[in-house]
Amino acid sequence: MAPGRSWRSAGRTDTGKVRARNEDAFLAQPEKRFWAVADGMGGHQNGALASRLIVEHLAELPHRDDVDQRVKDVRRCLHLLNRRLTQELTVTAEQPDPVIGSTVVVLLIEGDHAVCLWAGDSRCYLWRGGTLFQLSRDHSFYEELIQEGRIAPAQAAQHPSARALTRAVGANETLTLDLVEFTVYPGDTLLLCSDGLYQEMSTDTIGRGLSQPSVRLALQQLFELALNGPARDNLSAVVIRQ
């Protein structure tokens, strides 16, 4: 890969057709090779505040050339916000245990070294050589049931709590982030998205969207397809390419 070749990205968030409020937020800083999607949860305005808090705090992180240092910065930032939203949150007697949290998926790249960190079910996909790879694994009850091998995927999907999350920023006193490191090659296209975008879409459809000639066209196609469907949830995506 030619060093210093710039990255392009296009991001968008939409309330969808059913929800009154958009609780998603995204970050696109191609100049810092830094992107994120967060999907908030909680009553009232709480979900929207949580996802915004995460994205705006990530946006302020200083740019550094050292990937390990950047990963540390991201971790420190997300752990601090988790502490704020759990141990330090003022609660009311009416709602002693309020939900104010958010999923997060972060991608950072330096040279050809890419790192993805996440908590929750917002995803990172890689489109390479005509194949779609899901790089993140959802932290959901469904995924846990499958991984434990106790139940078949079709059965797991029927479980009433299938889509409930097992991890998120603001969910537990201790936040555990998952991380995957990989090498990026010319022609790779990456996608960060909330569940509102992928849940009604097949991997083939996502792949076709990502094979569009530009990041803008790819994003446009993915949103058109999602918004032509039921679009019950908020949807957000960032498409990234060199």
Partner 1 sequence: MDTPLMDEDADLTHMVGGAPSALADNQSVSPVAALPEVLCKRYKVERLLGVGGMGAVYRARDLLREQYGDPEPYVALKALNEEFAQYPDASALLYSEFALTSRLRNSNVIRLYAFDIDPPSQRAFMTMELLKGPTLDQLLAERPDGLPWVECQSIAIPLLEALECSHNLGVLHGDLKPSNVMLAANGLRLFDYGLGQPTKGLLTSLPRLSRSRIAAWTPRYAALELLNGEALAAPADIYAVACVLYELSSGHHPFSRLTARQAKAMEQDKSLRCPANLPPHCWPALQRALAFDPEQRDIDASGLLDAYRAPEPSLFGRMFGRKRG
Which residues bind to partner 1, rule: CB under 8 A?
Answer: 18-21, 23, 39-47, 49-50, 52-53, 56, 59-60, 76, 79-80, 83-85, 87-101, 103, 120, 141, 161, 163-166, 168, 171, 173, 195-196, 232-233
CA–CA separation, 165 vs 140, rounded Å?
Answer: 4
Residue whose CB is less far from partner 1, 172 or 220: 172
- Taking the complex as a whole, the smallest distance from the CB of residue 125 to partner 1 amounts, in Å, to 19
Q: How far apart are CA 79 and CA 130, in angstroms?
A: 36
- Of the pair 106, 165, the CB lying nearest partner 1 is at 165
CA neighbor of 104 nearest in space, from 197, 192, 18, 42: 192
Of 85 and 126, nearer to partner 1 (C-beta) is: 85
Structure tokens at 85: 């939203």
CB closer to partner 1 out of 82 and 221? 82
CB 206 within 8 A of CB 222: yes
* Minimal distance, residue 75 CB to partner 1, in Å: 11
Question: How many CA atoms lie within 13 Å of 94's alpha carbon, on the beta-carbon side?
Answer: 0
Largest Cα–Cα distance of the chain, in whole Å? 58
Nearer to partner 1, 112 or 200 (CB): 200
State the nearest-atom distance from the C-beta of 238 to partner 1, in Å. 18
Taking Cα atoms as reference points, which of 82, 74, 36 lies closest to residue 193?
A: 36
Return phi, psi of residue 98, to 5°: -70, 150
Taking the C-alpha atoms of residue 231 and residue 223, their distance in angstroms, rounded to an integer, is 10
In angstroms, give the least distance from the CB of 140 to partner 1.
8
Q: Residue 9 or residue 234: which is nearer to partner 1 going by CB?
A: 234
Separation of alpha carbons 151 and 134, rounded Å? 21
Q: Rounded to the nearest whole angstrom, what is the least distance from the CB of residue 1 to partner 1 in the complex?
A: 34
Question: In the bound complex, what is the minimum distance in angstroms from residue 135's beta carbon to partner 1?
Answer: 21
The Cα 203–Cα 210 span in angstroms is 10
